[in-house]
Structure 1
Amino acid sequence: MGYHVVWCPKYRSPVLGGRVKTRMEELIRARAGERGRRIVALEVMADHVHLFVKPHPKISPSHVANRFEGFTSHHLRAEFAHPRSRLSALWSRSCFVAAPGAGSAETAQRHMETQDQRPAKGTGRA
């Protein structure tokens, strides 16, 4: 059983670029390793994060999302000034979690890998 988790910075601010992106990836991999979760795919975009992770079957999807959000927020806000100065909280209060039941894990992984190749809908960005 795996979960596709998507979460965004508050107001979908593009604060996850450059060194912050690299550190975010390191933090997610470190947190997954210490908790025995296997990362299938990870994509950090400037304004959102896609994570496909396989946790222990008894752990709820919301718990998985909350643990990654809390851990990364704590460390990124301590290490970098601009997310802390621009946002009262790093992450928005909501996130998307889905278990790829109808689709396969490969479909979710392919979606994440091609995320930056598709135009964004409704944002005016190409």
Structure 2
Amino acid sequence: MREVKYHSSNNIVYSCKYHVVFCPKYRRKVLVNGVDTRLKELVMSICSEIQVEVIEMEIMPDHVHLLLDVHPQFGIHKAIKTIKRKTSRILRQEFPWLTTKLPTLWTNSYFCSTVGGAPLSIVKQYIENQKTSQRK
């Protein structure tokens, strides 16, 4: 079992891990023929710039899976928007055929779910028991 790694900065101690999935416009299978490899490089570079840890990444022909650790003050929405905006601009410059197939590289939507830590039921029980455990 993997130990939860906490980060700290200023007054915050956190572990904010997210599973993120997003797709090219119209779910087209355009993340192929070198676009996938370059996309991985760009995601790593952009995440390094914005201080987001990439725990895992997989590029499928028609969607992207990311497992990210994001600072709560930066936020997952801002992280995804930054990744999608920068990768779209660079990939469309480097692979001009992407501009003929799609009006924009990415859809506006994405899937996002928190992961890691204790199961929800355990956290709920811990919070419910706070008042009774304090009296003892």
Question: What is the TM-score with the length of structure 1 in the denominator?
Answer: 0.77
Distance in 2 between residues matched to 1:35 and 1:60, nearest whole Å = 11
Q: CA deviation at 1:79?
A: 0.6
Q: Are the equivalent residues in 2 in contact too, given 1:65–1:97 (CA < 8 A)?
A: no
Structure of larger gyration radius: 2
Matched pairs, number: 104
Distance in 2 between residues matched to 1:68 and 1:5, nearest whole Å = 11
Alignment of 1:105-124 (within 5 A): none
Alignment pair present for 1:11 and 2:21: no
Q: Are the equivalent residues in 2 in contact too, given 1:6–1:51 (CA < 8 A)?
A: yes
Distance in 1 between residues matched to 2:118 and 2:29, nearest whole Å = 29
Q: Are the equivalent residues in 2 in contact too, given 1:7–1:50 (CA < 8 A)?
A: yes
Alignment pair present for 1:47 and 2:62: yes
RMSD of equivalent CA atoms: 1.6
Distance in 2 between residues matched to 1:45 and 1:57, nearest whole Å = 28
Distance in 2 between residues matched to 1:11 and 1:63, nearest whole Å = 23
Q: CA deviation at 1:55?
A: 1.5
Distance in 2 between residues matched to 1:86 and 1:103, nearest whole Å = 44
Cα offsets for 1:76-99 (capped at 9, x unmatched): 011101211100011011111111
Amino acid at match of 1:84: T
Distance in 2 between residues matched to 1:45 and 1:102, nearest whole Å = 27
Q: Which runs of 4+ in 1 moved over 6 A?
A: none
In structure 1, stretches of 5+ residues that fail to align are: 105-126
Q: Are the equivalent residues in 2 in contact too, given 1:42–1:51 (CA < 8 A)?
A: yes
Cα offsets for 1:1-40 (capped at 9, x unmatched): 1111110000000000121000000000000111111110
Question: What is the TM-score with the length of structure 2 in the denominator?
Answer: 0.72
Distance in 1 between residues matched to 2:103 and 2:72, nearest whole Å = 34
Alignment of 1:1-126 (within 5 A): 1-100=16-115
Distance in 2 between residues matched to 1:97 and 1:60, nearest whole Å = 12
SS in 1 for 2:107: strand
